[in-house]
Each structure stands twice: as C-alpha cells, then as structure tokens.
C-alpha cells in the first residue's frame, strides 16, 4: 500500500501555481528519515518510565510536532502526569503542573500583579503556565472562568497581565487531563473550548503483563530518562513536518471525512442524520491534516498515506462531533460514528 502511494505521490504534480508541484518524494523521504531520527530516541527514553501506553506516547509526540494541545481522558493512575513529566525531561524543557480545583482562580494559572511594599509599585508575578510543558490536571474540576483563561492562552500563545503582554515560551504544549464526565463534581468543557484541543486521547487500563512491570518499577524505582533533544530541535522538526508531502487526493479524503460529520446523508450515511447535532469545524480538517503529517514523520516517511489519516482520525474527531439525545438513548458513541464514516468514505 505504501509503495503504491509513494509512486503515486512521486509522479503527482500539484495544481499549477502551487509551491508543491514536482515534489521530489525520494529526496524528501531521505530528509525526513534523517530529521526524524530523534523520535526513536525520545520513544526509547520514555519507555524506560512509561510501561505500555504507546498510543499515548505517540500522541504526545504528534501534539509536540504539530504545535497542538492534547486532552487526555481516563481514570486516575494511568501515568498521565508521569508521561508529560518524562517527555519534558527527554526534551530538556521546563515542566509545570496545575491541579485544577473548584476554588482555583484564573490568576493562579496565568499570573497576576502583586504590590511590592519596598519599591511601592506593582510587579508582575508570572503563573505556572509560563513553561514549555504544562499539565492541567483534572481540568474539568475547575469552573468555566479558569478553563477559559487557560484555553485563551493556548489559542493566543500569549498572556496579558495588567498592561503588559507576555509571549509564552516555545515549544508550548498543554496536556489537560479530565475525569470521565459521569463522575461527580466536574464541569464538562463546553464544545467550543474542547475544539481548541488538537487531540482527545482516551486511555484504557494496562495489560496484565504490563501491569506486572509497572509494579516492579514502582517498587524498585523508576529509571531516570536521559535528555536527548533540545527545545530548538523541536521547533526545527516542526518546520520539517510541514514539508511532509500530502497529495491532493489525501486532502480531499480529509475534507470528505469531516464533511461526513456535517452532512452524513451526502455520504450514504442517512441513518446518522438524527444522531449528530453538529460536526467538525474547519479546525478539524486542519488538525487532521497536521496530525497525519506528524504521524507520517514519526513513522519516518516523507509522504502521507490514507492509513495515516485513519490512524489519527479518532483522536482528532472524537471531541468534535455532537451527539443527539437519540444517539445517547441508543447507546451510540462517537467512536462508532467515526468507524462508520471511515468505512463509508471512499479511500483514495
């Protein structure tokens, strides 16, 4: 399948006037293989501490390489905090953790003005959001005002405190965790705010063999991961990810998938019409394309194939589809709807 798509891409030319016309796939492939060598090193260092959860590790790298934020959903104890802390150590980056609680204030996240009695003037005290990796733990425990302050910072990549505006450091990755919404004492994130997360990753319990290793590591002490890459290397890699070739047919495939969440009847999915209240926004299409390129980069390939799109589709789309009461009554979730769309939309 990959060989077929590679030949197609190598012989393809973009529309006239496009900067991607006459792409040399072979040369691009070699470049990507060289530039993506660090991915294996980061994955290896993280696997020293994080047992299993390969899906989560890959998604963290996709978010990092695509300049996107990640929402993790799962019960406590699945190494969500440990994962981003470990990633920060492998990248030699600053890490901060904010425990979201019902009494948290926006200033506790972004910072505030404090009065200095000696100098008799106000000065800025920056909040924990000024870090390369920010863990917003149990984001749905805090009220909407705090959530909005964090999500605005994620979108704008800057913070205004008093009359001063501060740029957030680069790279900047927010990993927010949330409890399943059926738990008590939570404030589910509004759909418009959830849409700002590039990926929503749902975690499951480890396998039995993996859990035995987790027990051993916890008793004997987790090994310390080595620093294998610097923040500036990540910024360089992001530019290379953008160069990953995406054929116009793949672009059309992405557009068709997102369109099927809006107008399912146009894709032989009329039965979904009453199950979906709203579909993916253009942000869904953009993020699906970016995540597909990053996934191809992680797989050390210089071009995107349909399997890349399908591999990241659930994580990009699951929080961007609104379910009707009818769907909930029939116990139909977004996973089933995405599976139905992927099975019906024609693969290029």
Q: Is the dihedral of CA 317, 154, 147, 91 positive or negative?
A: positive
Which two three-digit tokens encode residue 276?
A: 């979906």
pLDDT for 42-69, tens place per residue? 999 998 888 888 888 999 999 999 999 9
Cα separation, 261 vs 269, in Å, equals 10
DSSP 83: H
C-beta separation of 80 from 230 below 8 A: no
**Residue range(s) of every CATH 3.40.50.300 domain in the chain:** 50-224
C-beta separation of 213 from 53 below 8 A: no
CATH of 50-224, one of 3.40.50.10140, 3.40.50.720, 3.40.50.300, 2.30.110.10: 3.40.50.300
Q: What is the mean pLDDT of the chain?
A: 86
C-alpha atoms less than 13 angstroms from C-alpha of 314 in its C-beta half-sphere: 15
Q: Is the dihedral of CA 58, 71, 335, 281 positive or negative?
A: negative
The average pLDDT across 28-44 equals: 89
Burial class for 19, CB neighbours closer than 10 Å (0-12, 13-18, 19+): exposed
In this prediction, residue 183 carries a pLDDT of 60
pLDDT reading at 338 higher than 50: yes
CATH architecture of 1-15+22-45+242-348: Orthogonal Bundle (1.10)
Cα separation, 280 vs 339, in Å, equals 15
Tell me which of 70-79, 315-324, 337-346 is least confident. 70-79
- By percentage, how much of the chain surpasses pLDDT 90? 41
pLDDT reading at 82 higher than 80: yes
Taking residue 221's Cβ as centre, other Cβ atoms within 10 Å add up to 8
- Beta carbons within 8 Å of 238's beta carbon, 6+ residues apart: 65, 66, 67, 171
pLDDT reading at 14 higher than 60: no
Peptide bond into 171 cis (omega under 30): yes
pLDDT for 123-169, tens place per residue? 888 899 999 999 988 888 888 888 888 888 888 898 888 888 899 99
In this prediction, residue 22 carries a pLDDT of 63
Cα separation, 107 vs 5, in Å, equals 50
In this prediction, residue 67 carries a pLDDT of 92
C-beta separation of 174 from 69 below 8 A: yes
C-beta separation of 146 from 106 below 8 A: yes
- pTM for this structure? 0.85
What's CA 215's distance to the chain center, in Å? 28
Which two three-digit tokens encode residue 155?
A: 């979108």
More confident residue, 50 or 288: 288
**Residue range(s) of every CATH 1.10.8.80 domain in the chain:** 1-15+22-45+242-348
């Amino acid at each position: 399948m990959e060989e077929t798509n590679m030949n197609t891409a190598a012989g393809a030319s973009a529309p006239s006037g496009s900067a991607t016309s006459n792409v040399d796939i072979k040369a691009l492939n070699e470049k990507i293989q060289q530039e993506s060598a660090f991915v294996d090193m980061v994955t290896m260092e993280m696997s020293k501490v994080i047992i299993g959860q390969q899906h989560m590790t890959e998604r963290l790298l996709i978010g990092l390489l695509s300049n996107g934020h990640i929402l993790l959903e799962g019960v406590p104890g699945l190494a969500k905090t440990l994962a981003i802390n470990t990633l920060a150590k492998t990248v030699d980056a600053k890490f901060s953790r904010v425990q979201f609680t019902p009494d948290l204030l926006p200033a506790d996240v972004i910072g505030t003005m404090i009065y200095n009695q000696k100098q008799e003037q106000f000065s800025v005290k920056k909040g924990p959001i000024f870090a390369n990796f920010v863990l917003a733990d149990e984001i749905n425990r805090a009220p909407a005002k705090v959530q909005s302050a964090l999500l605005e910072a994620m979108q704008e990549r800057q913070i205004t405190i008093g009359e001063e505006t501060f740029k957030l450091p680069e790279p900047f990755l927010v990993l927010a965790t949330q409890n399943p919404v059926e738990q008590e004492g939570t404030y589910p994130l509004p759909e418009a705010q959830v849409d700002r997360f590039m990926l929503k990753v749902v975690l499951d319990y480890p396998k039995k063999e993996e859990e035995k290793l987790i027990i051993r590591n916890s008793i004997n002490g987790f090994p310390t991961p080595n620093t294998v890459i610097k923040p500036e290397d990540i910024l360089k890699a992001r530019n290379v990810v953008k160069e990953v070739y995406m054929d116009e047919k793949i672009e059309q495939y992405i557009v068709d998938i997102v369109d099927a969440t809006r107008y399912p009847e146009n894709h032989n999915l009329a039965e979904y019409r009453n199950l979906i209240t709203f579909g993916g926004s253009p942000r869904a299409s953009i993020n699906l394309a970016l995540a597909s390129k990053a996934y191809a980069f992680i797989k050390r390939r210089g071009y995107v194939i349909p399997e890349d799109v399908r591999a990241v589709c659930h994580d990009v789309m699951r929080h961007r589809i609104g379910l009707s009461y009818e769907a909930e009554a029939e116990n139909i979730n977004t996973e089933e709807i995405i599976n139905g769309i992927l099975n019906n939309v024609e693969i290029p």
